[in-house]
Structure 1
Amino acid sequence: MPYFISLMKFTEKGLREIKNTGDRIKISRDRVESVGGRSIQLFATLGSYDLVQIFEMPDDSSMMQYVMTARRDGYVDPLILPAFDESEWSSILEKIPETNT
């Protein structure tokens, strides 16, 4: 399954209700599973983003469905990045033509 990384910032609503983050994490995991995906890990982070979550999802459409549902809830503003593991990355690199220089 494809991997995705979500970089999330809390919205004002998310900050006001920050004590409920544990409940929202459970809801998030349940939603991911409902579209056939898997939440691999969630990290609270310092810096520009408050949370980072790593997913496996069946496809882009499943990820979009999950993200739009999460955005509608209004607790976080996510930036979604498709991600490639080492094996996939190596396969991609092998397909790049040699330069003519």
Structure 2
Amino acid sequence: MPTYITLADWTGEGIAHATESPHRLQQAREVFSAHGGEMTEFYMTMGEHDMVVVSTFPDDESYAKAMLKIAGGGSVRSETLKAFTEDEYRDICEAL
């Protein structure tokens, strides 16, 4: 399944209710699952972004639906990186 790296940042509303963030994280896991995805890793980070999520989904459309649902909650903004495994990376380079 495709892998996605999500760089997430709290909105003003999200940081104002930071104590609810662990509950929102669980809700995000449930949204991912409802769209056929799985959150494989989660990190709260220091630096330019507040959180990093690694997930897998069956396809781009499923990921997009899940992320639109989560973004609709108003607590986070996100940036998506579609990731390729080392094997996929090697196949891409070999095909050049």
Which TM-score band applies after superposition, normalised by the shorter structure? over 0.9
The higher radius of gyration belongs to 1
How far is 1:42 from its partner? Answer: 0.5
Write the distance in 1 (CA, Å) between the matches of 2:12 and 2:3: 28
How far is 1:81 from its partner? Answer: 0.8
How far is 1:40 from its partner? Answer: 0.4
Write the distance in 1 (CA, Å) between the matches of 2:81 and 2:74: 20
Instruction: Provide TM-score, normalisation by structure 1.
Output: 0.93
Q: Where does the alignment leave 5 or more consecutive residues of structure 1 unmatched?
A: 97-101
Instruction: Provide TM-score, normalisation by structure 2.
Output: 0.98
The answer for the alignment partner of 1:33 in structure 2 is 33
The answer for the alignment partner of 2:78 in structure 1 is 78
Matched, 1:94 2:94: yes
Alignment of 1:58-69 (within 5 A): 58-69=58-69
Q: Where does the alignment leave 5 or more consecutive residues of structure 2 unmatched?
A: none
Write the distance in 2 (CA, Å) between the matches of 1:27 and 1:13: 17
The answer for the alignment partner of 1:99 in structure 2 is none
Write the distance in 2 (CA, Å) between the matches of 1:88 and 1:37: 20
SS at match of 2:26: helix
Count residues in correspondence: 96
Alignment deviations for residues 31-68 of structure 1 (CA, whole Å, 9 cap, x no partner): 10111111001100010000000000000000110111
How far is 1:23 from its partner? Answer: 0.3
Alignment deviations for residues 69-94 of structure 1 (CA, whole Å, 9 cap, x no partner): 11110110000110001011111011
Write the distance in 2 (CA, Å) between the matches of 1:91 and 1:18: 42
The answer for the alignment partner of 1:52 in structure 2 is 52
